[in-house]
């Protein structure tokens, strides 16, 4: 979902950049106030971890493979503000060292895969966990939250590309949302599996005692996400897309010589999508419900008895004192 | 200072629980601070009768947060310029003990101080000064080499303590890595990484050098190079190691730690030649003491 | 993934390499900005930029095959998204514009990354008053990325040599377990790094 250079115009890049900068700035400011010095290296190592995890191939079908993005994973493991910093670092390194994601699109990428992914995912995760106790809640919450976060991030991405006038909303939205509804299943499954594995080995890493609810962070992040949605998605998701086109024509957006490129709003419609936005809304609702059900199913499969693990699964060997990992050697045995 | 720093009333019950008579009387006990060290061929250690001790541990006990006891009443003292080995089986508490020497453990220092560096107790207020005096080399070089370039990493310590940046070059030269300043740590061999860590520690001019398994992942050449390096450093040294040959060659005196208790403290050759003692504490008599090597005299 | 994948050419000697990192970064930024904002009609500009970048690659002695490989890694997304533009009227122009601009921007960034050691980029960021927490995170990320990748490869290899079923779900579970283990080890490593930093005076 990394947007390369050339897909966004100036206003989109600036707007998403501003949102991203505000979010990251706020996260850093909060970290300076509340993050204990002991956890500072953890951010860097977690960033390396997310990066390394993203490189693993999960076989899907016929040679294709899926990859983890890890926004929700990071949020559950280190908290949402820290996760935003972690994801930002990952995206910056990907942009500068791998040319994965454009420089002008860095703001948009951080907004989508950092802000939206982390905060929406975290909010949903906490919501589900409050309702469902134990490991089942963990799996269910993680899977569903990851799916929602992936899809919403993709929708924002589509909105940004459409707002820039490169690809019409009617094309990019179903493409991005549709594809990511499928990708999200993989992301949900992987996130849930990984969190379950960690919970079995070191449950205190998931349910940290110092895990304060951080209401300010969640509200702030949510606000920024809402702003972005209002800018990038709401104009297109209105029930009167035709009206928007007429406005655009009146205001002269269809000049080919404009800085934005060719006509932003085409007359061509995809055949299977009706004129009204209700079909889109229905598909979206159905997809969400399906994902919710899938997440519940996953939870049932992986945690058949409430709170315990799958029978026969051995607990990972104790890795030394949980709060004093200095006592363990590389192989996890208590040393010296 | 008491010549018998500790007794092992608790911990592994051994008939010979008097720490310094591991030799069962064949050789006189080696009280820590009253005898000069013996010289071995090719080593340049300093023997001082300086009453102010470089490092002193008094009745140190430590319990992990999960309740497990790591150290029980550990006491010993090390003179200026001495090189002392710390040996013992896995799980004995060696690393935990070393982490106490510069205040990393316990997480919060309270109560009576148990560790003294150059007469200065290790307390919360003294931590910066203590950490400058005690240079700790960690077991895994990757944990300690955390900066993007060699230069930045070696300069980290001097920067934090406000020391002269020229020390960085000097330290790199001392470990034989002059010219490596702009190298990236991931491209270095294990031996080179280990030496960069050592340079980073030496750049702060520590009084005491504490090494945790310095040769654990080195090949024979790396070991030789490190050994030669360490022999040239005049600071007080405490080396925890499974490499008993290294301990024999570098450290005239050794402490044996088992189950969180110092069970023996004396001349290295005497302790390590005592096969029964070694086996009792999960060690063994090193090869170097079993035969007379042609290139090894004494 | 080999350790030198990213850094293979960043320490060569050439006029381009010798440029100060800050200047290179600013130039790259400016170039990308210009590329994105210039309308496609000004063909001479794009041709000039392309020629200039190729010249820079030659001067920096970066082999074209390496550049090609790096570009190939990222092109699929560009093409995938861009193909959508073909479905709209007048889309061919947009498509061409996107492909040309994206590719040239990619080339610029790949050249920048190949001629500038990451440590220098970090120094530039520090001087530009980027928050210290972010720079530290970037530095540690870069430093420990390969350490973790190596660990992952080792764990993966160990698991594979004990896995005989080959079922996809089994592979997913295995990979997830490996990632989980990796995180646990990473937290322990982070604690040890913190101890090492404190031992050298960090507060």
pLDDT one-digit tens code per residue, C65-77? 888 887 777 777 7
Closest chain A residue to B213 measured between Cα atoms?
Answer: A336
Q: Does C90 touch chain A (CB under 8 A)?
A: yes
Q: What is the DSSP string of B97-150?
A: HHHHTTT-SSSS--SS--EEETTEE--TTTHHHHHHHEEEE-S-HHHH--SSSH
Number of neighbouring beta carbons within 10 Å of residue B123 = 15
Cα–Cα dist B258/B271, whole Å: 14
Is B91 in a helix, a strand, or coil? coil
Task: Tell me if the bond preceding A132 is cis, omega within 30° of 0.
Answer: no
- pLDDT tens profile C79-114: 777 777 777 777 777 788 888 888 889 889 988 888
Residues of C in contact with B128 (CB under 8 A): 201, 203
Residue B13 — pLDDT band, cuts 50, 70, 90? very low
- Residue A288 in any domain: the answer is yes
> Residue A93's pLDDT is what?
92
Closest chain B residue to C7 measured between Cα atoms?
Answer: B184
> Residue A278's pLDDT is what?
64
Integer CA distances (angstroms), C160 to C149, C157, C166, in order: 16, 5, 9
**What backbone phi and psi angles, to 5 degrees, belong to B116?**
-130, 130
Q: Does B200 touch chain C (CB under 8 A)?
A: yes
List the B261-267 sheet strands across, edge first. B134-137, B208-212, B236-240, B83-87, B253-258, B261-267
Torsion sign, CA atoms B85, B86, B88, B89 = negative
Distance from CA of B161 to the nearest CA of C (A): 6
β-pairing, B69-78 with B55-63?
antiparallel
| Strand boundaries in B140-286, DSSP class E | 208-212, 236-240, 253-258, 261-267
Distance from CA of C59 to the nearest CA of A (A): 20
Give me the residue from A322, A330, A335 closest to B66, CB to CB: A322
Over pLDDT 90: what percentage of chain C? 23
Measured CB to CB, residues of chain C less than 8 Å from chain B are: 3-4, 7, 11, 117-119, 122, 139-140, 142-144, 146-147, 189, 192-193, 195-203
- Residue B154 in any domain: the answer is no
- Residue B92 in any domain: the answer is yes
Q: Does C62 touch chain A (CB under 8 A)?
A: no
Do residues C121 and A19 lie in contact, with contact meaning Cβ atoms separated by under 8 Å? no
**What backbone phi and psi angles, to 5 degrees, belong to C191?**
-65, -40
Q: Fill in the DSSP letter of residue B37.
A: P
- pLDDT tens profile C118-166: 888 899 999 999 999 999 999 999 999 989 998 988 888 888 777 766 6
Do residues A137 and A154 lie in contact, with contact meaning Cβ atoms separated by under 8 Å? no
> Residue A282's pLDDT is what?
72
> Residue A212's pLDDT is what?
61
Is B86 in a helix, a strand, or coil? strand
- Residue B194 in any domain: the answer is no
Give me the residue from B128, B187, B201 closest to C3, CB to CB: B187
Give mean pLDDT, residues A140-166. 91
Over pLDDT 70: what percentage of chain A? 74
Contacting residues for B62 by C-beta, under 8 A, at least 6 apart? B69, B70, B71, B93, B96, B100, B105, B106, B260
A279 versus A232: which is more confidently predicted?
A: A232
Give mean pLDDT, residues C49-68. 85
Give mean pLDDT, residues C184-198. 94
Residue A328 has pLDDT above 70, yes or no: no
- Tell me which of C25, C32, C53, C183 to substitute to probe the interface with A (most A C-beta atoms closer than 10 Å): C183
Is A67 in a helix, a strand, or coil? coil
Residues of B in contact with A52 (CB under 8 A): none
Closest chain C residue to A14 measured between Cα atoms?
Answer: C33
Cα–Cα dist B254/B224, whole Å: 20
Residue A209 — pLDDT band, cuts 50, 70, 90? low
- Residue A265 in any domain: the answer is no
> Residue C199's pLDDT is what?
92
Number of domains in chain B: 1
Closest chain B residue to C148 measured between Cα atoms?
Answer: B142
Contact yes or no for C36 and A42 at CB 8 A? no
**Which chains, if any, share at least 3 CB pairs under 8 A with chain C?**
A, B
Q: Fill in the DSSP letter of residue A114.
A: I
> Residue B46's pLDDT is what?
36
B99 versus A254: which is more confidently predicted?
A: B99
Tokens of B238: 């405490």
Residue C4 has pLDDT above 80, yes or no: no
**Which chains, if any, share at least 3 CB pairs under 8 A with chain A?**
B, C
Contact yes or no for C109 and A103 at CB 8 A? yes
Contact yes or no for B91 and A322 at CB 8 A? no
Residue A192 has pLDDT above 50, yes or no: yes
- At C138, which helix (H) or strand (E)? helix C132-160
Question: In terms of Cα–Cα distance, which of C199, C188, C202, C20 is closest to C112?
Answer: C20
Give me the residue from C33, C144, C152 closest to A104, CB to CB: C33
Contacting residues for B57 by C-beta, under 8 A, at least 6 apart? B74, B75, B76, B77, B97, B100, B101, B114, B115, B116
Closest chain C residue to A263 measured between Cα atoms?
Answer: C90
Distance from CA of C162 to the nearest CA of B (A): 26
Residues of A in contact with C140 (CB under 8 A): 41, 43-45, 47-48
**B277, B279, B283, B286 alpha-carbon torsion, rounded to 10°:** 80
Distance from CA of B152 to the nearest CA of A (A): 17
Tokens of B25: 């009387």
Residues of B in contact with A322 (CB under 8 A): 65-66
Q: Does B189 touch chain C (CB under 8 A)?
A: no
Distance from CA of A74 to the nearest CA of B (A): 22
Q: What is the CATH number of the domain that holds B89?
A: 3.40.50.300
This model's pTM is above 0.95: no
Do residues A157 and A12 lie in contact, with contact meaning Cβ atoms separated by under 8 Å? no
Residue A187 has pLDDT above 70, yes or no: yes
Q: Tell me which residues of chain B, numbers 76 to 115, contact chain C at a CB-CB cutoff of 8 Å.
A: 99, 102, 104
A265 versus A102: which is more confidently predicted?
A: A102
Residue A87 has pLDDT above 50, yes or no: yes
- Tell me which of A23, A52, A73, A110 to substitute to probe the interface with C (most C C-beta atoms closer than 10 Å): A52
Contact yes or no for C134 and A24 at CB 8 A? yes
Integer CA distances (angstroms), A260 to A28, A263, A269, in order: 34, 8, 21
Residue B32 has pLDDT above 80, yes or no: no
Q: Tell me which residues of chain B, numbers 209 to 268, contact chain C at a CB-CB cutoff of 8 Å.
A: none
Residues of A in contact with B66 (CB under 8 A): 321-324
Residue bearing tokens 């320490």: C11
Closest chain A residue to C138 measured between Cα atoms?
Answer: A89
Domain range holding A191?
10-237+276-314
Residue A38 has pLDDT above 80, yes or no: yes
Give me the residue from B64, B95, B140 closest to A336, CB to CB: B95
Contacting residues for C191 by C-beta, under 8 A, at least 6 apart? A38, A41, A325, A326
Residue B50 has pLDDT above 80, yes or no: no
- pLDDT tens profile B55-71: 999 999 999 888 889 99
Give me the residue from C37, C118, C178 closest to A97, CB to CB: C118
Number of domains in chain A: 1
- Angle, CA A144 vertex, CA A140 and CA A150 arms, to 5°: 150
Alpha-helical regions (H) of chain A = 10-34, 40-54, 71-78, 80-98, 106-109, 121-131, 134-163, 169-201, 203-206, 215-232, 234-237, 241-250, 277-302
- pLDDT tens profile A283-302: 777 777 888 888 888 888 88
Give mean pLDDT, residues B5-22. 40
Q: What is the CATH number of the domain that holds A284?
A: 1.10.1760.20
What mean pLDDT, rounded, does chain A reach?
A: 77
Residues of B in contact with A335 (CB under 8 A): 90-91, 95, 139
- Residue B245 in any domain: the answer is yes
Give mean pLDDT, residues A290-319. 61
Residues of B in contact with C144 (CB under 8 A): 142, 146
- Tell me which of B63, B64, B139 to substitute to probe the interface with A (most A C-beta atoms closer than 10 Å): B64
Residues of A in contact with B212 (CB under 8 A): 336
C76 versus B95: which is more confidently predicted?
A: B95
Contacting residues for B55 by C-beta, under 8 A, at least 6 apart? B77, B78, B101, B115, B116, B117, B118, B134, B208, B236, B238
Number of neighbouring beta carbons within 10 Å of residue B21 = 16
Question: In terms of Cα–Cα distance, which of B68, B53, B77 is closest to B4?
Answer: B77
Is C123 in a helix, a strand, or coil? helix
Residue A164 has pLDDT above 90, yes or no: no
- At B230, which helix (H) or strand (E)? helix B220-232
- Tell me which of A209, A323, A336 to substitute to probe the interface with B (most B C-beta atoms closer than 10 Å): A336
Closest chain C residue to A266 measured between Cα atoms?
Answer: C88
A-to-C residue pairs, Cβ atoms closer than 8 angstroms: 273
Give mean pLDDT, residues A270-282. 57
Is C145 in a helix, a strand, or coil? helix
Cα–Cα dist C72/C59, whole Å: 22
Length of chain B: 298
Is C95 in a helix, a strand, or coil? helix
Over pLDDT 90: what percentage of chain A? 32
- Residue B35 in any domain: the answer is no
- Residue A328 in any domain: the answer is no
Is C90 in a helix, a strand, or coil? coil
Domain range holding B121?
55-141+206-289
Tokens of C153: 């490869």
Integer CA distances (angstroms), C161 to A105, B170, C158, in order: 42, 47, 5
Question: In terms of Cα–Cα distance, which of A81, A233, A221, A217 is closest to A151?
Answer: A233
Do residues B199 and B175 lie in contact, with contact meaning Cβ atoms separated by under 8 Å? yes
- Tell me which of A7, A49, A100, A330 to substitute to probe the interface with C (most C C-beta atoms closer than 10 Å): A49
Tokens of A155: 């929708």
Angle at which helices A10-34 and C21-37 cross, to 10°: 140
- Residue B100 in any domain: the answer is yes
Tokens of A277: 């936005």
Tokens of A231: 């800018």
Is B232 in a helix, a strand, or coil? helix
> Residue B138's pLDDT is what?
93
Does the predicted interface ipTM exceed a cut of 0.95? Answer: no
Residue A222 — pLDDT band, cuts 50, 70, 90? confident
Cα–Cα dist A43/A88, whole Å: 11
Residue B228 has pLDDT above 90, yes or no: yes
> Residue A276's pLDDT is what?
53
Residues of B in contact with A41 (CB under 8 A): 146
Max distance between CA atoms of chain C, in angstroms, equals 65
Residue A175 — pLDDT band, cuts 50, 70, 90? confident
Torsion sign, CA atoms A53, A59, A65, A69 = negative
């Amino acid at each position: 979902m990394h947007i390369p250079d050339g897909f966004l115009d100036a206003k989109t890049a600036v707007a998403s950049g501003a949102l991203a900068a505000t979010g990251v700035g706020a996260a850093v400011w909060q970290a300076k106030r509340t993050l204990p010095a002991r956890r500072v290296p953890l951010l860097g190592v977690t960033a390396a971890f997310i990066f390394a995890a993203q490189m693993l191939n999960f076989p899907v079908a016929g040679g294709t493979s899926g990859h983890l993005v890890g926004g929700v994973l990071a949020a559950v493991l280190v908290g949402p503000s820290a996760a935003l910093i972690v994801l930002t670092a990952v995206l910056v390194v990907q942009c500068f060292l791998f040319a994965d994601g454009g420089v002008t699109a860095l703001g948009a990428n951080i907004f989508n895969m950092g802000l939206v992914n982390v905060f929406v995912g975290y909010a949903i995760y906490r919501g589900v966990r409050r309702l469902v106790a134990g490991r089942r809640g963990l799996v269910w919450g993680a899977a569903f939250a990851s799916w929602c976060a992936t899809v919403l991030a993709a929708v924002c991405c589509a909105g940004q590309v459409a707002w820039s006038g490169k690809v019409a909303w009617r094309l990019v939205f179903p493409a991005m949302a549709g594809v990511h509804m499928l990708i999200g299943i993989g992301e949900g499954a992987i996130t849930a599996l990984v969190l379950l594995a960690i919970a079995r080995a070191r449950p205190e890493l998931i349910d940290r005692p110092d895990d304060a609810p951080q209401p300010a962070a969640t509200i702030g992040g949510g606000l920024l996400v809402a702003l972005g949605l209002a800018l990038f998605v709401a104009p297109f998701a209105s029930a009167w897309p035709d009206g928007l086109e007429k406005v655009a024509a009146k205001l002269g957006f269809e000049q080919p010589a404009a800085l934005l490129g060719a006509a932003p709003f085409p007359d061509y419609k995809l055949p299977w999508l009706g004129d009204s936005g209700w079909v889109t809304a229905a598909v979206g609702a159905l997809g969400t419900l399906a994902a919710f059900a899938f997440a519940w199913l996953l939870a049932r499969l992986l945690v058949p008895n409430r709170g315990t693990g799958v029978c026969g699964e051995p607990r990972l060997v104790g890795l030394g004192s949980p709060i004093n990992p200095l006592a363990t050697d590389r192989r996890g045995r208590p040393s010296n | 200072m008491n010549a018998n720093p500790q007794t092992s009333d608790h911990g592994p019950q051994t008939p010979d629980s008097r720490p310094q008579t591991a030799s069962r009387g064949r050789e006189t006990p080696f009280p820590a601070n009253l005898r000069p060290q013996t010289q071995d061929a090719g080593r340049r250690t300093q023997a001082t009768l300086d009453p102010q001790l470089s490092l002193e541990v008094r009745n140190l006990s430590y319990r992990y947060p999960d309740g497990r006891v790591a150290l029980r009443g550990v006491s010993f003292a090390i003179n200026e310029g001495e090189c002392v080995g710390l040996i013992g089986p896995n799980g004995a508490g060696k690393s935990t003990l070393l982490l106490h020497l510069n205040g990393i453990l316990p997480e919060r220092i309270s109560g009576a101080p148990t560790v003294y560096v150059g007469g200065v107790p290790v307390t919360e207020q003294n931590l910066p000064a203590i950490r400058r005096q005690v240079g700790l080399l960690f077991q895994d070089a990757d944990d300690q080499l955390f900066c993007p370039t060699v230069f930045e990493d070696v300069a980290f310590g001097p920067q934090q303590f406000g020391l002269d940046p020229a020390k960085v070059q000097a330290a790199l030269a001392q470990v034989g890595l002059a010219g490596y300043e702009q190298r990236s740590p991931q491209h270095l061999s294990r031996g080179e990484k280990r030496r960069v860590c050592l340079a980073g520690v030496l750049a702060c001019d520590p009084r005491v050098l504490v090494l945790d398994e310095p040769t654990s992942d080195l090949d024979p050449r790396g070991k030789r190079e490190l050994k030669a390096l360490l022999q040239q450093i005049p600071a007080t040294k405490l080396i925890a190691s499974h490499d008993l040959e290294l301990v024999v060659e570098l450290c005239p005196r050794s402490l044996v730690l088992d189950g969180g208790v110092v069970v023996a403290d004396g001349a290295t050759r005497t302790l390590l030649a005592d096969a029964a003692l070694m086996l009792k504490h999960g060690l063994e008599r090193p090869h170097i003491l079993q035969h007379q090597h042609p290139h090894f005299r004494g | 993934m080999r350790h030198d994948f990213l850094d293979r050419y960043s320490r060569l000697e050439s006029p381009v390499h010798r440029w100060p990192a800050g200047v290179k970064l600013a130039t790259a930024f400016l170039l990308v900005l210009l590329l994105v904002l210039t309308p496609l009609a000004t063909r001479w500009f794009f041709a000039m930029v392309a020629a200039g970048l190729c010249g820079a690659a030659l001067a920096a002695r970066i082999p074209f095959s390496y550049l090609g490989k790096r570009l190939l890694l990222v092109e699929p997304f560009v093409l995938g998204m861009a193909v959508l533009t073909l479905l709209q009227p007048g889309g061919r122009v947009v498509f061409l514009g996107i492909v040309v601009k994206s590719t040239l921007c990619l080339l610029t960034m790949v050249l920048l990354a190949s001629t500038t050691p990451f440590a220098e980029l970090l120094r530039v960021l520090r001087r530009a008053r980027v928050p210290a927490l972010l720079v530290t995170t970037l530095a540690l990320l870069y430093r420990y990325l390969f350490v973790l990748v190596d660990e992952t490869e080792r764990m993966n290899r160990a698991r594979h040599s004990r896995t005989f079923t080959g079922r996809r779900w089994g592979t997913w579970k295995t990979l997830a377990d490996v990632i989980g283990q990796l995180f646990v080890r990473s937290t322990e490593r982070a604690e040890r790094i913190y101890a090492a930093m404190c031992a050298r005076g960090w507060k």
